[in-house]
Amino acid sequence: MTEHKVNPKAVAAMTTFLEVLGVDLKKLGMEKTPYRVAEAYAEFFSGLQENPDSQWGELIQTASNGLVAVRNLRFYSICEHHLLPFFGTVQIAYYPHNGQIAGFGHFADVVSVLTRRPQLQERFTAQLCDSIDAGVHTEGTLVIVKAIHLCLTMRNSTALDSDIVTAASSGCLKKGTEPYMEAWKLLTRKDTDE
């Protein structure tokens, strides 16, 4: 884990926040909690200082013109509405332009940058699709994100088994096209279906 500089103002603000909620830090042995929280959120929000589009590196020239899929990239992020975690998986499919592809690790790097910031799942899904389009110059892209939101499940007992699915697409993989449906099936099928 990368070490992040802890801002003393964040520690003081967290101390005040907890005390205002009635938490007696000393009595509960939580004197170091404000520092730990400030340190953790410096890590959680470190993607704010990074540009996801700078993660792509050089494209690889291939003879491929078929659908390329990267499945089951796991992520976590912090929902900007309640500052609670949401986490899940990302599925990506794209058609290369003139046989140019990106190294698979770059997809994980871009997901990491975009999720290490206060985020909305819908925005993250669209930003990832846009970054793939810009960085890989695809003929079409489909991104599907499935996540569990603790701000929902912790606050509503009827939502314990819920998850949220969002999608964004572009180019020849725009919603409603035959290639879109083929890519959707590829990305959402279970491994036992293969």
Measured between alpha carbons, how far is 120 from 9 in angstroms, rounded to an integer? 26
User: Max Cα separation, the chain?
Assistant: 66
Query: How far, in Å, are 4, 102, 118, 157, 189 from residue 107 at the CA level?
Result: 23, 8, 20, 35, 20
DSSP state of 7: P
Q: How far apart are CA 110 and CA 53, in angstroms?
A: 7
Q: Is the dihedral of CA 46, 50, 51, 52 positive or negative?
A: negative
Task: Walk along the chain (194 residues) and give the pLDDT tens digit of each residue.
Answer: 556 688 999 999 999 999 999 999 999 999 999 999 999 999 999 999 999 999 999 999 999 889 999 999 999 999 999 999 999 999 999 999 999 999 999 999 999 999 999 999 999 999 999 999 999 999 999 999 999 999 898 888 888 888 999 999 999 999 989 999 999 999 998 865 55
Please give the Cα distance from 97 to 103 (Å, whole number): 15
Report how far residue 19's alpha carbon sits from residue 109's, in angstroms, rounded to the nearest whole number: 38
pTM of the model: 0.90
Q: How far apart are CA 98 and CA 10, in angstroms?
A: 48
Angstrom distance (rounded) from CA 97 to CA 50 = 26
Inter-residue contact 125 to 166 (CB < 8 Å): yes
What DSSP character marks residue 79?
E
Question: In order of start, what are the domains of the chain with their CATH numbers?
Answer: 8-44 (no CATH), 54-193 (3.30.1130.10)
pLDDT value for 2: 59
Q: Which residue has 């990239």 as its token pair? A: 73
